[in-house]
Amino acid sequence: MRTAGWRSCALYGCAIALCQPLAACGSAETPSASTNDKAAAKAGPAIPADAPLVIAFGDSLYAGYQLAPKEGLAPQLQAALTQDGVVARVQNAGVSGDTTAAGRQRLTYVLDNAKTKPALVVLGLGGNDMLRGIGPDQTRANLDAMLAELKKREIPVLLTGMVAAPNLGNDYAKAFNPIYSDLAGKYGVSFYPFILDNVVTDKKLMLADNMHPNAKGVTVIAEGLAPLVEQALPNTQ
């Protein structure tokens, strides 16, 4: 990870430490509301029915917590791809409050009910595990199982990482933080080390809770992910 990335990790960890009593990164019980930010993805051209399918499978950082429908990761990632001349349909499969265990339980359902076999799954879970103090061994096992399922189905993956809050202690961090890079290496998948890199360090890109990106922050994330998505999609290189 770049030096700036490590700085982002540290600052995000501090924010998490302050906000950990919330217990979950965008709890499922928290109603979604539109932000005042006007950085919603602009409507692009119609996407062909046979366009490659990208499924964005994660928690509130994927689901668009407190954002308007076009401001979340899936629509903004699709807009970033379109701007680069890449035709793809990005499906939002983010659920606020999801742990890796919850994601593991619903992954098969999402894949089985997709209109077509995904050309790529962007996978990002584990933040809520960390906030709840769930054992890193469980987080690792659940992510491992999801990656194994995707490998079995021959679906490429882009894995996005998370970091542990410093107040959880060095032992927890040493067990949690390497999970993503270890599994990315094990399965040979694309890897984006920290989902909020270059976002969490700028308050103008974050919601008031200092844990979730606003619409402009999601734009930065989408622009960071787009090149990796493009590399993984057929006929885009």
> Backbone phi, then psi, for 59, in 5-degree steps?
-105, -145
Is 190 an annotated catalytic residue?
Answer: no
User: Is residue 75 within 8 Å of residue 82, measured between CB atoms?
Assistant: no
Is 171 an annotated catalytic residue?
Answer: no
Q: Choose the catalytic residue: 32, 181, 202, 209.
A: 209
Angstrom distance (rounded) from CA 130 to CA 136: 8
Angstrom distance (rounded) from CA 178 to CA 58: 19
Q: Choose the catalytic residue: 8, 37, 59, 60.
A: 60
Q: Choose the catalytic residue: 8, 37, 96, 212.
A: 212
User: Is residue 221 within 8 Å of residue 42, measured between CB atoms?
Assistant: no
- Cβ atoms within 10 A of the Cβ of 173, count? 18
- The b-or-e profile of 101-122 (16+ CB within 10 A means b, else e) is bbbbeebeebbeeeeeebbbbb
- The b-or-e profile of 194-203 (16+ CB within 10 A means b, else e) is bbbbbbbbee
Task: Give catalytic residue positions.
Answer: 60, 209, 212
